[in-house]
A and B are shown apart, each in its own frame.
Chain A
Amino acid sequence: MFVSFNWLKKYVELGDITPEALADKITKTGIEVEGIEYIAEKSTNVVVGYVEECEKHPNADKLNLCQVNVGEDSLQIICGAPNIAKGQKVAVAKPGAVLPGNFKIKKAKLRGVESNGMICSLQELGIEEKYVPKDIADGIFVFPTDAEVGADALSLLNLDDAILELGLTPNRSDALSMLGVAYEVAAILDVPVQLPDETVEMIDEKATDKVKVTVDAPELNPYYGAFVVKDIKVGPSPLWMRNFLIAAGIRPINNVVDITNYVLLEYGQPLHAFDYDDFGSDEIVVRRAKENEMMVTLDDQERTLSSEHLVITNGEAPTALAGVMGGANAEVSVETTTVLLEAAYFDPKTVRIASKAHGLRSESSTRFEKGVDPNRVKRAGLRACQLLSLYAGGKVLSGAAEFDQLDKSEKEVTIETNQINARLGTAISDTDIATILRKLDFGFDQDGETFTVHVPTRRQDISIFEDMLEEVARIYGYDLLPYTLPQGAAQAGGLTKPQTIKREVKKYFESAGLMEAITYSLTTRERAMMLTSPEVKAETVTPVHLAMPMSEEHSTLRLSILPEMLASLSYNIARKQVNVGYYEVGSVFLSKQAQVTEQPKEKLRASVAITGEWLNHPWQQEKKQVDFYLAKGILEGLLDRLDFEATYKELVIDDMHPGRTAQVIVNNIPVGFIGQVHPRLQKAFDLKDTYVFDIDLDYLIEAHIDEPSFTKIPRFPTVSRDIALVVDENVAAGEIQTTIEEAAGSLLKQVNVFDLYQGEHLEAGKKSLAFNLLYLDPERTLTDEEVENSYQAILSAVKEAHQAELRG
């Protein structure tokens, strides 16, 4: 809402407060002033001039040579505007004048003739093109004949105004009118509101003689008033009205339209003017539209209606979509002589449905949607009639044709001083509360500390105690509320175990050299399916799609963090950042429903992607590219940190290198995968070799034993034995290790691979793997025999299972 400071002065005594100071007070009290605009802030020296002579320029066809009286003297000015004419009163920027944009006016010679100033258009004076009346969009502005020659043109055009831009929250629709803002400002400044005069001189002829109103859907239209004004002369509206409309951001059209707009802004009540003669009948019937009923609106669009919409009809065809837009059939035009003026209350929801369905948000629909003041509907109609008679030569017929079932009563809300203070933490007195209510201009009955407040109907947002609590608090001043701390019993705040582990995991990744990434949860359909871990896939039928995505790019919920992470890698590589290691901890969204109706299962995953060089120490020629075992080392470290042991099984899945990918298994449960991204996918993302893993963090958190019981530090030494085995090169080390662990018996505490050899001295297709075995009995010293027995058991087991031979 744009509020003209000068217009506001018509209703409230502003004294000498500056627009800035007022804006600050309004903001602090409840409505944010988002900006203050001065239309012609630095303009000077523009006066009203009388065009005494106007002739063609001797050397240029399109220019005119004018003699303009500007009061104390007469200036010769050359003007190119097509609408310039002798006898006009125009805005003259005298030499030395400054126009918006810091445009300085100087004496000049045009085609050999001297020009001492400029005759201005509204645009040149700082008014936005879209607010300039269409008939003078290409020419200069012409003042009414009564304008005083030599007077300050900027002031006459209201260009010395300041416009306050209010950012209204949805509850404060009362401030969608100048009167509403006036009440607000009056409460803040503690001054009275001067309401406009609505008295109208009416002729004997009655409105009801000309028109009859029937409302078939009173629940959607509890009040409909039709006024009739005849002998209208459509023409320009008065300058002051046009000025205020422009200030409020509405382009002046003609007096009839301008008056309805003016009253809309003044009262917050939208009105609609029909051409009585084009209306098509002397009967107004308001009803729900029929299914698929058609009508052509003012913007010449054909619209299909439904029974959710309310229409104004002439008994037959719709003449307006109630509260949203009039019909083309009864539009007011320059030929209009009799106006049928509608002032009505339409159901907010119905207007909202219609304006949304047809994409027609207007100054009118916005106000109806929020609910207009029931006590201002008819008054607004009367005010418009008054203005039509004053400024459009109209004769107003007596009364109005009405349908009225509108509840205009005021709500009552009871507040008690102690209740207010208990909730605010203040010590406001009964007198203070009475003063606040008076400032707000709310009626009330006081009984000691109990106030029964009669909430004015303009404040549709107030209906319960808490609403009044806010009114009292904001007028009292949020600044004056004390600072206290809660009195309730102290509680120990903190993180839950899972939250703590999550933080630990993140810290671990960072200590391992990874940077945390945060990618979008919404991805493309294609990416949503990429790089999904087998156990995720098993829980999913199809990724979860948005019903109406804004773009394909963010249309589908992810099943893996990795695809967007690869996209981030790609983004960096394109910017020459080629060595990157990311981790992210975040949710993926699993649904087993082909048609989702239930909330998807949200699983917390930890994902890692590394690419490029991990180590680069140029002057020592040390360079290490990332590889599988780096990724695996990071993963093993994580699992070790959380006290898990994992096994790794070769895995072939889409999007991953078939020879360099493993499934990660913890407690016999698959929890994710690790490996190199498939070169095909690497290429699609413009990546060099990239290694990733993706782990079910929810499972790890759940299965994590949070306080490991204390294990005694062993008093007896461990016994170490090595075993070197020659096996077929396809036998995985992990498989041999499993066999060793199973065969060794309970004394074996640890097995570690310490050597891998292939080549000379070994048969082709064979490899040698050496393991270190650590034996321990915490209770006693081991005998050689015990260790030897276990060693032999291992040997025969690996022979059996893997045809392994001891390396000679």
Chain B
Amino acid sequence: MRKFSYYQEYEEGFFMKERLQALKEEALVKVEEASTLEALQQVRVSYLGKKGPITEVLRGMGKLSAEERPVIGDLANKVREAIASQLDEKKAALEAKALDEKLLTEKIDVTLPGRPVQVGGPHLLTSIVEEIEDLFIGMGFEVREGPEVETDYYNFEALNLPKDHPARDMQDSFYITEELLLRTHTSPVQARTMLEYKGNKPVKMICPGKVYRRDTDDATHSHQFTQVEGLYVDKDVRMSDLKGVLNQFAKQFFGEEREIRLRPSFFPFTEPSVEMDISCKVCHGEGCSVCKGTGWIEILGGGMVHPDVLELAGYDPKIYSGFAFGMGPERIAMLKYGVDDIRHFYTNDVRFLKQYHKA
């Protein structure tokens, strides 16, 4: 009896195990067969739902012995988990497939042009001036600015150009009154800065800005143009320092392979005065049409600050010396980018401006 009874129990437990195993196999096949999310949901409901066969099986657990109940319970949970996990996996797969199908319907023509974004940019002259500024800032120069309407004193007299100096012919100017004019160079900023520094501390500056001369506008002349001038005054400044600084500038700005050459020149505010050429980019000094056969291209002027200029600005020329230089960004742009007409810088033709917005 006991044995029978035991057998009975054994039988019940045995068959429940069999049943659960069979349900699992069956469910997994159904999961596998489900080809839509809806079908899959059906499978989930039919096997794992409250009215599903596993719940059914578990309801019969009451017939089991105390030893067998946890074993079957455990097994039932494992079967549920196995089915659920397979369902989830299948669901993810079906969802991915559904997404792929949906995305295919969203296909666009990627070769059509994009919606334009309005992009602006700096004027070529600004780019050049800022590049020059940054190079000299790197060498310890500060950037100074000053008024465009200057007094005759700062524009000429403080720079060793007294009223009847013949060199004033060199730069015929736009006067407003006898004493006021549009500055013909940015040098007055140098004179002003030296006076501000009271003759007892070094001056190391560049001064960019607009300048004006009485020229009729044509391909190579403009009544308004840009200048960047530089000044370094300190104790024991040598002409070789000027050469070294300009060489460093030229190599950084125009390229490591460019050579410089200094030639004597004349400016009333410097003595000795120099003109600096750089070797021609096209022929590297051999001579070609770009450099008119000389192999060199004139870039800037400069020299050692004239003692009268130092003295007028309150610097004792016996203690202090210095160098100064000046260049024209328009000319530099024309040389560096082959701009063929200086008027391009001031007509603001957008086709011109846009050419130089690229990095």
Contact = CB atoms under 8 A, between A and B. Distances in A.
For the complex of A and B, list the 9 residue pairs with the smallest distance between their C-beta atoms, beginning with the closest: A425-B240, A513-B118, A169-B266, A470-B272, A425-B238, A30-B264, A568-B348, A510-B120, A488-B234
B176 A544 contact: yes
A596 B180 contact: yes
B71 interface: no
Interface string B164-175: 101101100011
A650 interface: no
A487 B263 contact: no
- Which secondary structure dominates where chain A touches chain B? mixed
Nearest to B308: A464
B62 interface: no
Nearest to A550: B214
- Which secondary structure dominates where chain B touches chain A? mixed
Query: Interface extent on A, as a size class?
Result: 35 or more
Contact of B120 (A30, A575, A581): A581
B177 A467 contact: no
Interface string A1-32: 00000000000000000000000100111101
B93 interface: no
B156 interface: no
Nearest to A595: B177
Interface stretch (B2-10, B15-23, B47-55, B108-116): B108-116
B244 interface: yes
Contacts of A29: 264
B235 interface: yes
A215 to B, nearest CB: 22
Contacts of A27: 263, 294
A602 to B, nearest CB: 5
A795 to B, nearest CB: 41
A104 B241 CA distance: 57
Contacts of B147: 599, 602
A544 B271 contact: no
A544 B180 CA distance: 11
A470 B149 contact: no
Contact of B148 (A352, A602, A622): A602
A503 B142 contact: no
B142 A494 contact: yes
A482 B243 contact: yes
A297 to B, nearest CB: 22
22 contacts: A30-B263, A352-B166, A470-B264, A485-B244, A490-B140, A493-B139, A495-B143, A512-B118, A515-B350, A517-B353, A518-B126, A519-B346, A520-B224, A520-B346, A521-B182, A546-B175, A557-B149, A568-B347, A571-B348, A581-B120, A597-B180, A599-B147
Interface of A: 24, 27-30, 32, 169-172, 348-349, 352, 369-370, 422-426, 464-467, 469-470, 473-474, 478-479, 481-496, 499, 503, 506, 509-522, 544-550, 554, 557, 565, 568, 571-572, 575, 577, 580-583, 586-587, 589, 596-600, 602, 614-617, 619-620, 622
B148 A503 contact: no
Contact of B125 (A489, A518, A544): A518
Contacts of B258: none
Given A515-B357, A549-B174, A572 B240 contact: no
Query: Interface extent on B, as a size class?
Result: 35 or more
A493 B204 contact: yes
B80 to A, nearest CB: 43
Given A423-B238, A599-B149, A470 B273 contact: yes
B270 to A, nearest CB: 9
A597 B177 contact: yes
B149 A544 contact: yes
Given A493-B137, A546-B176, A602-B147, 5 more contacts: A490-B140, A491-B140, A494-B137, A598-B180, A599-B150
Nearest to B118: A513
A478 B346 contact: no
Given A370-B166, A470-B272, A484-B240, A499 B202 contact: no
A495 B136 CA distance: 11
Contacts, number: 256
Contact of B272 (A170, A348, A369, A469): A469
Contacts of A495: 133, 137, 143
Interface of B: 112-113, 115-123, 125-126, 130, 133, 136-143, 145, 147-151, 164, 166-167, 169-170, 174-177, 179-180, 182, 202, 204, 210, 212, 214, 216, 223-224, 232, 234-241, 243-245, 247-248, 261-266, 271-275, 294, 304, 306-307, 321, 345-351, 353-354, 357
Given A473-B272, A478-B264, A620-B115, A484 B243 contact: yes
A479 B271 contact: no
B216 A550 contact: yes
Contacts of A571: 347-349
A516 B120 contact: yes
A470 B271 contact: yes
Chain B CB count within 10 A is highest, among A485, A486, A622, for A486
Contacts of B351: 575, 577
B118 A171 contact: no
A518 B348 contact: yes
Contact of A599 (B180, B266, B304): B180
Contacts of B307: 464-466
A544 B238 CA distance: 43
Contact of A596 (B140, B177, B347): B177
Nearest to A587: B148
Contacts of B274: 478
Nearest to A491: B140
B238 A474 contact: no
A30 B117 CA distance: 54
B164 to A, nearest CB: 6
A615 B262 CA distance: 52
A466 B304 CA distance: 9
Contacts of A485: 241, 244-245, 248
A548 B167 CA distance: 20
Given A482-B243, A518-B345, A546-B175, A170 B238 contact: no
Nearest to A489: B202
Contact of A488 (B151, B202, B349): B202
Nearest to A173: B166
Contact of B126 (A474, A506, A544, A622): A506
A234 B121 CA distance: 72
A597 B177 CA distance: 7
Contacts of B116: 615-617
A639 B176 CA distance: 36
A487 B240 CA distance: 11
B176 A481 contact: no
A13 B333 CA distance: 43
Given A486-B245, A515-B353, A554-B223, A492 B239 contact: no
Contacts of A370: 166
A370 to B, nearest CB: 7
Nearest to A483: B244
B202 A469 contact: no
Given A169-B265, A572-B348, A510 B223 contact: no
Contacts of B122: 506, 510, 516
